[in-house]
Each structure stands twice: as C-alpha cells, then as structure tokens.
Amino acid sequence: MTMTTGSLTVVTGSMFSGKTEELIRRVCRALYARRRVQVFKHALETRPDVEGIRSHNGNPHDAVAVSSSGELLEQVARDIDIVAIEEAQFFDDGILEACESLADNGYEVISAGLDMDFRGEPFWPMPALLSVADEIVKLRAICAVCGREAARSQRLIGGEPAPASAPTILVGAEESYEARCRHHHEVPR
C-alpha cells in the first residue's frame, strides 16, 4: 500500500511582494501536471471579486470564498491533491489545525499571507503556520521610498503613515498601502 505524504508550504512577505502571484504560479504548475487543485480565500478579501483571487499584476484564478477554517475544511473535496489558501492571515486560529490536518491526511497545502501587520508586528495566525511549515517562501517587495528591498507594509491614511491605534485589518491595495524597507517604515505612536 502506498501512503500519500502531505505537506504545508507557506508563502509570506509584505504587501506587493508577490505572494498571490507565487500562489497562482504554483497552482498553475500543478494544474499543468494534471494535479487536482482547490483554491480558497477568506471572505474578507473582496478586492478583485467575490469568487476569485487576483495578483497585483492582474493575474486571476478562481477561488472559493469562505469565512472560517471550519468552512474551508467542510468544502475541501476528497479527490483533491492540492489545497491552496490565499490571505491566511485573515483566518481564525483554527487555520493552523486545518492546515496540519489536511497535510497529515495527504494533501499538499499551499498557504499565502502577510507575516506582519502594518505596525511591523506578527500577523496572527501566520507565525503559527510558519512554525509548522515544511517549506517557507519569504518574498520581498521594493521600498516605495528608496527602491531597496522591502519586507514591511506601510498603511497610509491621506498619504501619511497610519497611527498604531488604527485597526489591524483594512482590506486595500495601492490606495491604502505601500511596501517599505525597515528604515522607511513608520508607525506613529
């Protein structure tokens, strides 16, 4: 009897680092290899449209919107090889157990999400996912100020850095965020 080995890959980095692009690239490669793939995103992510994901470069892919890790598990089809999860940082704490359970049951899981919030602090539950991942892909963007590599997401309000007191979750793109290096990342206290 052959036992299927599952795995957990976590793709992480700041806004505009190419996380979704990498997730879509891996999904497309798997489909080309005739693997069966199911893509999920958190229902909070409504930028491109309700039923799909889209990288900042404009590359789209179909995805099922779910509101919780439990709902995600309920919708995973038995005949799937790969489960891809976009915007993992928006999920509840159960996403860790869900990803581990899927991997333990033979699925290849690819999860993408921000590792830090706009304050530069760990964006839960990503640290937990990173700690149990079989593979971690950490991507960087380009600092909007100096052009160096950037690993932080700068939230902007009216073109100025958002204060630390701002809500942690604000779904947005270029209108609300830009990539910044450690030196140019600002969080007024």
Average pLDDT, the chain: 90
pLDDT tens string 12-53: 999 999 999 999 999 999 999 999 999 999 988 755 444 566
From the list 90, 3, 102, 13, the residue with the least C-alpha distance to 44 is 90
* Superfamily the domain 7-140 falls into: P-loop containing nucleotide triphosphate hydrolases (3.40.50.300)
Give tens-digit pLDDT for 47-85.
544 456 655 555 566 899 999 999 999 999 999 999 999
Q: Considering the chain, what percentage of its residues have pLDDT values greater than 70?
A: 88
Q: Which two tokens stand for residue 187?
A: 């969080």
| In contact, 38 and 76? CB cutoff 8 Å | yes
Domain chopping of the chain, boundaries: 7-140
Q: Check if 97 is active-site.
A: no
CA of residue 5 relative to chain centroid, distance: 23
Q: Are 39 and 66 in contact (CB under 8 A)?
A: no
Residue type at position 41: K
Could you tell me the pTM of the whole model?
0.90
Cβ atoms of 106 and 141 within 8 Å: the answer is no
User: Look-up: residue for tokens 């600092």?
Assistant: 143
Residue from 45, 86, 87, 178 carrying the catalytic annotation: 87
Q: What is the dihedral of CA 13, 19, 25, 26, to 10 degrees?
A: 60
Local confidence band at 170 (pLDDT 50, 70, 90 cut-offs): confident
Q: Are 96 and 9 in contact (CB under 8 A)?
A: no
